[in-house]
Structures are given as structure tokens and as C-alpha cells.
Chains A and B, each alone.
Chain A
Amino acid sequence: MINLVEICDLKVEATTDSGRRVEIIKGVSLSIAEGEIVALIGESGSGKTTIALTLMGHARPGCRISGGSVSVAGKDLVALTEKQRAKVRGTEVAYVPQSAAAAFNPATTIMDQVIEVTRIHGLMSPDEARTRAVELFRALSLPEPETIGSRYPHQVSGGQLQRLAAAMALIGDPKLVIFDEPTTALDVTTQIEVLRAFKAVMKKGGIAGVYVSHDLAVVAQIADRIVVLKGGETQETGTTEEILNAAKHPYTRELLAAFEPKPRGTVSPEAARGSLLKIEDLVAGYGRRQADGLPLVRAVEHVSLKVEKGRNLGIIGESGCGKSTLARAIAGILPAAVGKIVFDGKELGRSARDRSRDQLREMQIVFQYADTALNPAKSIEDILDRPLVFYHGMDRKARSVRIDELLDMVRLPRNLRHRRPAELSGGQKQRVNFARALAAEPKLILCDEITSALDTVVAAAVIDLLKELQRELGLSYIFISHDLSVVEAICDEIVVMYGGRKVEEIMPAKLKAPQHPYSQLLFSSVPKLDPAWLDGLAQDPELVRAYCRR
């Protein structure tokens, strides 16, 4: 049988800002059979999206297909003219973008955009197309399938838009659908519904698919075969079973290892050395203050929590649950409206301005995006130098020695000190970011989603480093994340937040399973590496409806 897709020795070139040409896809070959779903998996920069787009004969501005062939249903898209390619797009190959919110034209209704493919290619009458679209909306379990099409894109939620984008792709009865990280921007509880919808329509229609993702667990649910990419080259190809159970390539194994649960446990829980931080009844938010002294939009409502010396606290929740606002209130960036923050026995001012220099020094915060947390105009040396002068008043020689020590601590080569942040990789930048916090010699470090912007393997290494440093320096962390596995790996206690409130407090060491229904829903929604996980997952629909804004 002839494969639907044959990619042969594909090469793509990109032109850099300075005008140099760089090969970003270095001879990739792969094939997809009719009705088969193949996942392209790899970290950022591995070329997975670039390859997927060549299946439509498209290369982003600045890129160019420089060699090889991409044949879909017998046509070589590389050799076709732009007009001939346009005929293939939408009818034979369709595309589901990463951010549907940006891919929908804000000026026209959803329905007009969903049926646009049929209009462009003259596939059916507008009335037929609308009927078909409503059928698809229903199949993708969208709410109010009859009327949702008459809305504008900004009037529906992210999870719904993502499914509407799938309807837009499926309306032309394509043989192949490309999913470009379609659930990456969604919360885990929302992701499940979307994944289920995708899987159902694809299987029912026998449509072949390319699923681009960095998340092995998500891919395991939907793909028949997995292609592992790195640096524009294929590392390993195999069926989902093979890749999950018998990976051969070291890089694939690294990816898998990052999923291994790493129980915390080494710190003895009995040695309670007193409390380091105590938050009582904290309220924080944005907007004008109301008559009752509370802000207009309250992102954090009456949260109390405690961090013991040398122990770690995790705060998890989905986007908009108030976890980052809580961190900012603790650090004094966004002064709390109500509540007490007691740090090391003394009550702190609500705003950072009202805190002493030593109080500021002892509590440091590390942000999610190392790109914006490091001044791009300064060298690593200058970045680490400042807290040493500011807090410790060290002389030049002592500072230089200390900078070397700090770089050693975060396992970065010493000669990196003369570089600028833009010359470092994401993981290296996050380590510098962390080294700057360590330079202050703090007692507590607030980590706000510090691994979320990193690739799986890099994130795992950063977590290991954090654990190691804790053992050496006796620090405490407050670890804020949406990713349960990250928090479980490092925290003694976990606080679950929902809608600005603390829902539950869990101690993983004591194997206390979550009791609160929302925690249960959240914990059960985290994808597992098991391909049967999604199909076997049973969630109470009442619960889902109550807590998810899909």
C-alpha cells in the first residue's frame, strides 16, 4: 500500500538576522499511512512545526524549503506552484494552529471562518456547509452547537476556540490534519476534553494526522507512531508502544526519564525547626479600592499558609487561580490589601518599600521567564555582582571570587561570566537567574513557575539542582506551578488553589490523597505516559462542569 505522506530527505533553510543562511531541517524523512496519526515530538527549536508546515507546502517568512520532497496523496508539494499548493490546502491537508485565539480573524464571525474553506474551494453550498459545521461542532462536543457559530472569536473561551479551529480544519474533509501543539496553551482540566474530542473525530473519520507536541504524555494518548526530533534531525521513530517501553535512542530515554516520578522524601519531616513564613488571611488583587478597603478584583481571597524552616511548600492551580498574585503579595511587589505576613518571627510590611534591606535580602523571588528577568544589556558578571555590592558591600576581589562560587553552585562554567544573557540557552539563563537569588544569601526563595518555560529535560535538571542546593544551604522554597509533577518532586506540602482561595493542603510524604473534589479533578487530569490513560479516565461530568471554564 502506498503511504499517504512521504517526506524524503527534507531540508529547510532559514535566514538569520545578520543575513546568514542556516539549515534548520537537516534531511528528515518520514511516512504516514492512511488514517494513521503520527506525532512529532521534540523540544523548542527541534524543527517539529517547520516540518509540519512543509506538509502544506508552506515555510514561514525567512525560511525556505531547500531540498528533498514532500509528497501528500501523490503530489510533491515542493514542486507545485503556489496556485497548485493553494488547491491542496484545506481540502487534502488542513491545519489546527497552536493558538486558535490568534488564528481566528477578529473581524468576522466564527461560522464564516469555519466554512470559508468550502467557499474558497467551491466544495458545497453555504447552507450545506453550515449544516456540516454544526454537525462538527456537535461531534467536537461544543456547547450550543446551533448558535456558537454566530459569535465572534473573542466571545468564546480558549478551549472552545481550539475545538472550533479543529472544525475549521475538518470541514473540507481533508485526508490529513496537522495539529500544531493544539493543547499547549490550555489548562490540564480543559485539555482532556479537547483531546478526547480530537481523538473521537479523527478515529471516526479515519483521518490521518500529524500531532506536533513537546509533551510525550499527551502524544501517547492520541498517536499511533512517534517521531522524536532534535536539532532538525530525526532521533528515533517507532510505534507509541515501542517508544514508551523500549526506547533505544539516549535522547528519547532522557525525555522519558523526565517523567519518572521522583519522590522527595530525603528531608526528615520530624525535625521541625520552627516556622519561617506564616501568612494569615491574605487578600490581594487589582483595581481601585472599594469602600470596604478591598481591591475591585480580588485575585487572592483569605489565604493562610505556613512554611517551616528547611521545608518546601508547593502552590498549584490552573491559570487565573491567584497563585502568582499570592507570590507577588508575599514578595511585596503587589501589596496585600488585608492580612499578615510573618517572616522569621517578625511581621513584614505589606509593600516591599516598607521592608528593611535585610528582610528583602532574606526572601528572594525567581521568575518564570529568565529572558525578561535578566537585563539583556548586562553581562552575567554584572548581574551577579549587584546583589553582592548592594547587600553585602563586598570589595571587588571578594565579589569576583564569590561570582565564581555562585556559578559553580548552579553548575555553570565560570567563563560564562563575560557573556550576555542572549548568548545563553534557556536552562542556563534560569540558572543565572537562580544564582542571583542565591547571591543574596536568602532563607526563602519564591519560585514562580520557574520550569514552565523550559523543555522537559532541562526542567528536570533544574529541579535536581534546586534539591541539591537545598541540602547544601538549608534553604526553603515556595514553589508555584501549574504542573503537578514538578511540585510533587520537590515539595513537602502542597496547597491547591482555585478561584483565589486555598482549596486544600496535601502532604505527599504522608501519602494523603486529595480529598477536595477540585483537587481530585486536577490531579486526575494530569496526562500519564500510559496510552490507555485517556480512554480509561472516568471523571464525574458534574464536577467537570462545576470547575472548568471550557
Chain B
Amino acid sequence: MNNPVLSLVLSRLLIAVVTLLIVSFAVFFATTLLPGDTATILLGQAATPEAVAGLRAAMHLDEPALLRFLRWIVGLLHGDLGTSYANEMPVADLIAGRFINTLKLAGVTALFSVPIALTLGITAAMLRGSLYDRIVTVLTIGVISVPEFMVATSAVLIFAVYLKWLPALSFANEIHTVSEMLRVYAMPVITLTFVVSAQMIRMTRAAVIETLNTPYVEMALLKGASRSRIVFRHALPNALGPIVNAVALSLSYLLGGVIIVETIFNYPGIAKLMVDAVATRDLPLIQSCAMIFCVGYLFLITAADIIAILSNPRLR
């Protein structure tokens, strides 16, 4: 664990920081493309020109865009996310509770999907070409090829409408009992688990198959090693890096899925907050939510890359 690894990891982190800067730039300017004047929109058509001008000055809207961008970035770094246009509350307060909710949803999903997906992915790779493998492959392609809302609506139809096990929509007002918690989380988690697992199974299977095709696996076979020994001693230790990489990458699909799932199930998370903010054109709120998502996404893909670097035995 010395210089080459360290410098690779550091350079990857540096790239992440630069990327984050470009992304925040993009997010900021995409939202300032808004046609029409923000102040006018906020105050309505009937506002007097003086009132509009006053608000513009208060919101620094008459300053050059670049300066506003810098002001915004500096604010973000100090934890000042701005003030919501819609209800004039600090964005940070609006986000805090919602963010925790989304993290809970993501955490529970990961808890279920990772073990399920790894088991299915690795076993499918081991039994490549078998009926089992083919069924798993067809199912994952099926889930990947349909929109997330279809997975969600199908889950509702099956579990709520036909089987009547769960309520169709979740209301996370107050959770006191286990059954209430189950009712709130079950449907969103089932949907997200399907979406994320399908990706993860595919990637894990591909990673394991790749190591199973290497000459050292053939060599182990020619030493007389048993099937399980080949997989557990030779293939998996070398596939570990790619597998963890696949897990991190698949979890990034959570972000896309969570937007749909929170909307459809009325889950009070940050994605729902953002979709609602889009409806009211609440720019500071949209910007902050978008940044949180981008940071999360960037964190996952950077982690995936760093794991890939660390797990390369040739760099040890």
C-alpha cells in the first residue's frame, strides 16, 4: 500500500472534486436559464416595477451570473443553502428531515438488494448456460427493460389489489408499530429492490464470468481442484474488486429509482420534495436537492473506481 496506489486514489479524488465543480456549475446555470424574470414570477404580474426592482436587488439578481454562482458555492460550503422562494423557510430546514427519510429508504433497500443480488449473480455465473442461469438472465433483462413506475404499479397490483397484503400507498406520518413501519416501507422497498437488484445481478454475473475465463482458473482445474474450490479460492478473490465495484455502481441506480418511487408512493423523501419544488419553480430548493443527488451519485461512482484500484493485486 504505497505510492502507486496512493497517487492513483488521490488523482481519482481530484477528478471527483473537479467533476463536482463542473456539475455544480451546470446545475446552477441550468436553473438560471429560466425564461422570464424570477422576481416578476415570484411577485406575480400585478407587482409594481419598484417592488420587482427591490426584490431583484435583495436577491442579487442584477449581479453578473458568475458572481452569483460564486456567492452560491461559498454559501453551500458554509452550509447556507439559501431560502425557499415558495414558503420562505431556509432550504436547509426543509431538506434535513426529508434527507434522513430518503437515506432510510435507500439503506433498507441496500440491505435487501445486496445479498439477494450477489447470491443470484454469483450462482448464475457459476452455473452459466444452465436453465437457472437463463431464467435469471431473462428476468433481469425484463426488469431492466421496463420503466421503474411499471415495476411499482405491478407491485401495487400484485400485493395490494389482488393479494391485499399491503396498502397501495404509504403515509409516513407517524410510525409507532412494526406493522405500520412495514406498511410504509414495504412497497417502496420492494420496488427499489427489484430495480437495483436487476442491475447488480447483471454486473456481478459479468464480473464473475470474466474471472472464470482466466488461464489461472483453467490451471486450478488442471490441478484437480473441485468446482467450489475453483470458485471460492481462485475466482471470487479476484472478482471481489469488480463485484464491489458493481455493487457501488448499481446503488447509483437508486437515485433514479427513488425519484419515481417517492412520487408514486407519496413517500416524504428528498426526491418528492424536489419534484414538488419543480412544480412551484422553487429554484434554491431545486438547486440544493440536485446538488445532494449529484454528490451522492458522484460519491458512489468514485467509491466504485477507488475500490477497483485498491483491489488490483498487481498494485499491492
Do these two chains really belong together in a complex?
yes
- A binding-site residues for B, Cβ under 8 Å: 56, 58, 60, 85-91, 94-95, 97, 99, 102-108, 116-117, 120-121, 152, 154, 168
CA–CA, A152 and B229, complex, Å? 20
Please tell me if the beta carbons of B237 and A108 are within 8 angstroms of each other in the complex: yes
B234:A121 contact, CB within 8 angstroms: no
Closest to B225 in A: A120
In the bound assembly, the distance between CA atoms of A94 and B229 in angstroms comes to 18
Contact assessment for A103 and B224 in the assembled complex, using a CB-CB cutoff below 8 Å: no
Chain B residues closer than 8 Å to A104, beta-carbon distance? 216, 219
Q: What residues of chain B lie closer than 8 Å to A56, measured between beta carbons? A: 222
CB-CB under 8 A for A107 and B313, given A97-B219, A99-B215, A102-B215: yes
Which residue from chain B places its CB closest to the CB of A165 in the assembled complex?
B219
Task: Given the known inter-chain contacts A106-B313, A152-B316, please indicate yes or no for A117 contacting B224, CB distance below 8 A.
Answer: yes
Q: Which residue, of B220, B224, B238, has the highest number of chain A Cβ atoms within 10 A?
A: B224
Chain A residues whose CB sits within 8 angstroms of the CB of B226 once the complex forms: 86, 120
Decide: B224 and A154 in contact? CB cutoff 8 A.
no
Chain A residue contacts of B176, Cβ below 8 A? none
Q: How would you classify the secondary structure of chain B's contact residues: helix, strand, loop or mixed?
A: helix
Within 8 A of A (CB), among B229-271: 229, 234, 237-238
Question: Would you call B214 an interface residue if the criterion is a C-beta within 8 Å of the partner chain's C-beta atoms?
Answer: yes
- Residues of B contacting A97 with CB < 8 Å? 215, 219
Q: Are A154 and B314 in contact (CB under 8 A)?
A: yes
Q: Is B65 close to A, CB under 8 A?
A: no
- CB distance A95 to B224 under 8 Å? no
CA distance A102 to B216 in the complex (A): 6
20 more A-B contacts (CB under 8 A) besides A99-B215, A108-B237, A117-B223?
Answer: A56-B222, A58-B222, A85-B224, A86-B224, A91-B224, A95-B219, A97-B219, A102-B215, A102-B216, A103-B216, A103-B218, A105-B216, A105-B238, A107-B237, A116-B223, A120-B224, A120-B225, A120-B226, A152-B313, A154-B313
B181 CB–A CB distance under 8 Å: no
Give 6 CB contacts A-B under 8 Å.
Answer: A89-B221, A90-B224, A103-B215, A105-B220, A106-B313, A168-B223
From B239, which residue of chain A is reached at the shortest CB distance? A107
The contact of A58 among B216, B221, B313, by CB within 8 Å, is B221
Which residues from chain A contact B219 at a C-beta distance below 8 Å?
A: 95, 97, 103-105
- Rounded to whole angstroms, the CA-CA distance of A89 and B234 in the bound complex is 17
How far apart sit A85 and B227, CA to CA, in the bound complex (Å)?
Answer: 12
CB–CB B224/A102 < 8 A: no
- For the complex, what is the distance from the CA of A89 to the CA of B218, rounded to whole Å? 12
Give Cα A105 to B226, complex, Å: 16
Using CB atoms, name the residue of chain B closest to A61.
B213
Given contacts A103-B215, A152-B313, contact A95 B238 (CB under 8 A): no
Give A72 Cβ to nearest chain B Cβ, in Å. Answer: 13
Residues of chain B contacted by A116 (CB below 8 angstroms): 220, 223, 225
CA distance A399 to B225 in the complex (A): 61
Complex contacts, B234 vs chain A, CB 8 Å: 105
Residues of B within 8 A of A154 (CB): 313-314
Per-residue CB contact flags for chain B residues 196-220 toward chain A (1 = under 8 Å, else 0) read: 0000000000000000001110111
Most buried by B among A94, A97, A107: A107
- Report B-chain residues with C-beta under 8 Å of the C-beta of A60: 218
Complex formed: what's the CA distance from A86 to B224 in Å?
4
Closest to B312 in A: A106
Q: Which residues of B contact A95 (CB under 8 A)?
A: 219, 222
Choose among B219, B229, B238 the residue with the greatest number of A CB atoms under 10 Å from its CB: B219
- For the complex, give the distance between the alpha carbons of A226 and B214 in Å: 31
CA distance A492 to B68 in the complex (A): 75
Instruction: Tell me the bound Cα distance from A152 to B315 in angstroms.
Output: 11
Bound state CA distance, A117 and B219, in angstroms?
11
- CB neighbours (8 Å) of B221 from chain A are 58, 89
Enumerate chain B residues within 8 angstroms of A152, measured Cβ to Cβ.
Answer: 313, 316
Which single residue of chain B is at the shortest CB-CB distance from A92?
Answer: B224
CA distance A94 to B223 in the complex (A): 7
Report the minimum CB–CB distance from B231 to chain A (whole Å): 13
Residues of A within 8 A of B223 (CB): 89-90, 94, 116-117, 120, 168
Tell me the minimal C-beta distance from B126 to chain A in angstroms.
Answer: 15
Minimum CB–CB distance for A406 against chain B, Å: 41
Residue of B nearest to A87 (CB): B224
Residue of B nearest to A102 (CB): B215
Contact across chains for A121 and B224 when beta carbons are under 8 A apart:
yes
A99: chain B residues within 8 A (beta carbon): 215
Q: Please determine whether B215 and A86 come into contact, CB atoms closer than 8 angstroms.
A: no
Q: Which residues of chain A come closer than 8 Å to B218, judged between CB atoms?
A: 60, 103
In the assembly, what is the distance between CA of A354 and CA of B220, in Å? 53
Interchain CA distance A87-B226 in the complex, whole Å: 9
B 285-316 to A, binary, CB cutoff 8 A, 1 in contact else 0: 00000000000000000000000000001101
Contact present for A89 and B222 (CB under 8 Å): yes
Set of chain B residues within 8 Å of A102, measured between Cβ atoms:
214-216
Question: Residue on A with the closest CB to B229?
Answer: A120
Tell me the minimal C-beta distance from B11 to chain A in angstroms.
16
Q: Which 8 A-B pairs have the closest CB atoms?
A: A89-B224, A90-B224, A102-B215, A103-B219, A90-B223, A105-B216, A106-B313, A86-B224
Distance of B22 from chain A, by nearest CB (Å): 26
Q: Report the bound CA distance from A108 to B225 in whole Å.
A: 16
Contacts of B225 in A (CB 8 A): 86, 116, 120
Kindly report which residue of chain B lies nearest to residue A88, judged by CB atoms.
Answer: B224
Give every chain A residue within 8 A of B229 (Cβ-Cβ): 120
Most chain A beta-carbon contacts within 10 A, residue among B216, B223, B225: B223
Distance between Cα atoms of A469 and B97 in the complex (Å)? 83
Nearest chain A CB to B213 CB, angstrom units: 8
Contacts of A94 in B (CB 8 A): 222-223
What's the minimum C-beta distance from A540 to chain B, rounded to whole angstroms?
35
A90 to B225, CA, bound (A): 9
